[in-house]
Structure 1
Amino acid sequence: MSERPIFVVGCPRSGTTMLQLMLHAHPRVAVPPETRILVQAYRDRRQWGDLRRPKNRRALARWIAKGPRTQFEDLGVDKDEFIRRAVAGPGSLGSVVGLVYAMFAERHGKIRWGDKRPPYIRHLDAVLAMFPDAQIVHLIRDGRDCVASLKEMPWFKGDISEAVYRWAEAIDIGRGHKLPPDSYYELRYEDLCADPTGTLTGLCTFIGEEYDPAMREPYRVADVVPAHKEWHVNTRQAVTTTRAGSWSSRLDPDEVSLCETVLGSRLTAYGYELTGAPRAPRRDLTAYEKTASSWRRELRRTALVERINRFREPGPVAALLTNTQRELAGVPK
């Protein structure tokens, strides 16, 4: 049976928490609530030094378990036990980070783990550097619904332009990926809601697992989502199609025009029909392009820093926790 880690990605508010819970309901798979561990640990890897040294693994593990913003406590994993096992475990960045999720899976009696955080779509380099055997599951939802939902989130501080850009970016990264077919999979939120059995059966074929009917009832395991995240309240209810297309009553006409002007070809490529709204006015398109340019510059800057860092790795990066990972790394069994 497969040991490969599963990563759920997408534009925020695409339904990734529902999909997380569907996977978590599978008897072999555990997918925890979101943490802020993986990307930051990777970006700061030079700080931790060569992780073949136990003292460096201890420092990284202590930051993960006791850092103020890692959200480790949401996992219910024993901090001291995690630190002990990280120090005793394989000497690589991915091994220490992956142990977090492996221990979460153990806590739930599961063999295999996954992770869900929508912005991972922007950080596939980090995910794949640490977990070369990762399977990426990209959940896609009508961009207009994503924009409408983002506007309502207490944690989203951007404007309409940023909301539109976040969806465009996720779609463009997904369409531009160069991963093999067994490493990247797309599915639509609307299909997942309308035909959970069929859509999840296809997903299970991709990840190499047998479909289990429990996956259709994600609300039964919704207690894994921290209660203070009130914006996930719908995951505590049965799967429904009622939220699909609700953008039509949640977006103003000008917002619909901006969405369809900017996202039109992307929307239709995924089977979403346009309303025929008039083209967005120049001022709105100018504001959007300014926002998009700013985000693209940041992505280019980050990519440049990464290229430099790759030449100065302080130690092994890829996880060495499973037979598959050790084989990929050329480590004898």
Structure 2
Amino acid sequence: MVSRKSTLGNLFVRYSGVFPTQADLDIISKHRVRDWSTRTYLLNRFARGISVKAPPVFIVGCGHSGTSLLLAILGTHSNLYPVPFESYLIQQPNRRAYLHTFDLLTVATGKTRWVEKTPRHIRHIDELLAVHPRAKVIIMLRDGRDVATSLFKRTGDLEGGIQRWVADNRSGDRFIEHPRVHRFRYEDIVTDFKGTMVEILGFISEDYEYQMARFDRENRYFYSNEISRPPDQTEANHLQFRNWQINQPLFDGRGQWRTLPAEQQHIIFNTISSQLSEYGYLDSSEGSSS
């Protein structure tokens, strides 16, 4: 006869890691996650048999390159849960707790796979690939002139924005041939939404779903409790501005660099022209920023 103590012990081993821990709840509270419900999680996990069934997806790239946009779009997929905060997972001393929390949140929302976005992880792709043997990494690339312009509007530091784009994307270059890493361009999402999303989803072995084109119809609170547009894009209002952006329909953000004075345009162009050309942002006739 199997003892009651032995039965309880077997159950504990079987379900170890299934129930939320205090560490999970602390992470959920720290990041003010709205998606969590212990009751819904337990219902989905035990009554409906929902669990995380596919490897994670990480979105990286220089900031202001469309990483938030891609997360919002992918989050409308029936299988994909968008982690609603930048976790800085690689820097976390309790990395395992974060991974466990992502699994719980995914199941609580009735999904089977999670997508996490921390742009600065572009400098830690090797560590992301080690998180799971089949993890996929998506690098978002955007015209460096527009990225530098956007960062300049936020920080007031033009040179800093230029150098961040250079260094971040050079970090990504080292993995461009890796089979679990793929680079996609923000501009391609703008000009060929469905075609680009089909390609992205194919890379992570998912099918395109029609509702993804209407991603803006679902309110999201990734960065702020406000979804209204702030008065400006400065650092003080940065999080609210980002949250407003991901709640808008897809818009064409190409060519923002042309709004800068000519002198600043030339500074950007003279610094990164060769890298722009390497990434296919300059045609053979484009010899200056004008």
Q: TM-score, normalised by structure 1?
A: 0.62
Is 1:230 the equivalent of 2:240?
Answer: yes
8 Å CA contact 2:123–2:172 kept in 1: the answer is no
**Corresponding position of 1:83:** none
Work out the CA distance in 1 between the residues paired with 2:248 and 2:87.
26
Fraction of identical pairs, as percent: 29
Contact 1:21–1:221 (Cα < 8 Å) also in 2: no
**Contact map agreement 1:37 1:97 (CA 8 A) in 2:** no
Equivalences for 1:162-201 in 2 at 5 Å?
Answer: 162-177=160-175, 180-181=178-179, 183-201=180-198
Matches within 5 A, 1:62-211: 93-94=95-96, 96-153=97-154, 156=155, 159-177=157-175, 180-181=178-179, 183-211=180-208
Deviation at 1:259, TM superposition (A): 1.7
| C-alpha separation in 2, matches of 1:29 and 1:227 | 22
Find the aligned partners of 1:15 and 1:100 in 2 and give their Cα distance.
Answer: 25
Could you list the structure 1 runs, at least 4 aligned residues long, displaced by more than 3 angstroms after superposition: 274-278
C-alpha spacing 1:167/1:222, structure 2 compared with 1 (3 Å): farther
SS in 2 for 1:114: strand
Q: Distance in 1 between matches of 2:114 and 2:276?
A: 32
The separation in 1 between residues aligned to 2:170 and 2:269, in whole angstroms, is 16
For residue 113 of structure 1, report the CA deviation from its aligned partner: 0.5
1:247 to 254, 257, 272: 257
Deviation at 1:129, TM superposition (A): 3.1
Instruction: Give how far 1:2 is off.
Output: 6.5
Taking the aligned partners of 1:117 and 1:276, their CA distance within structure 2 comes to: 34
In the alignment, is residue 215 of structure 1 matched against residue 215 of structure 2?
no
Is 1:171–1:266's contact at 8 Å kept on the other side of the alignment?
A: no
TM-score of the superposition, structure 2-length normalised? Answer: 0.70
| 1:37 Cα offset (Å) | 4.6
Deviation of residue 227 (structure 1)? 3.1
Deviation per residue, 1:201-247 (Å, 9 max, x gap): 00111000011111222212342423352222222221122x21121
Q: Given the superposition, is the C-alpha separation of residues 11 and 198 from structure 1 closer, same or farther in structure 2, using an over 3 Å criterion? A: same
Are positions 1:21 and 2:19 aligned together? no
Separation in structure 2 between the aligned mates of residue 201 and residue 218 of structure 1, nearest angstrom: 15
- List gaps (5 residues or longer) in structure 1: 45-59, 61-92, 279-333
Does the 8 Å contact 1:32/1:224 carry over to 2? no
Distance 1:185 1:127 in 2: 14
- Which whole-Å CA distance do the structure 2 matches of 1:248 and 1:178 have between them? 29
Larger relative CO (CA 8 A, sep 6+): 1 or 2?
Answer: 1
Q: How does 1:309-320 map to 2 (within 5 A)?
A: none
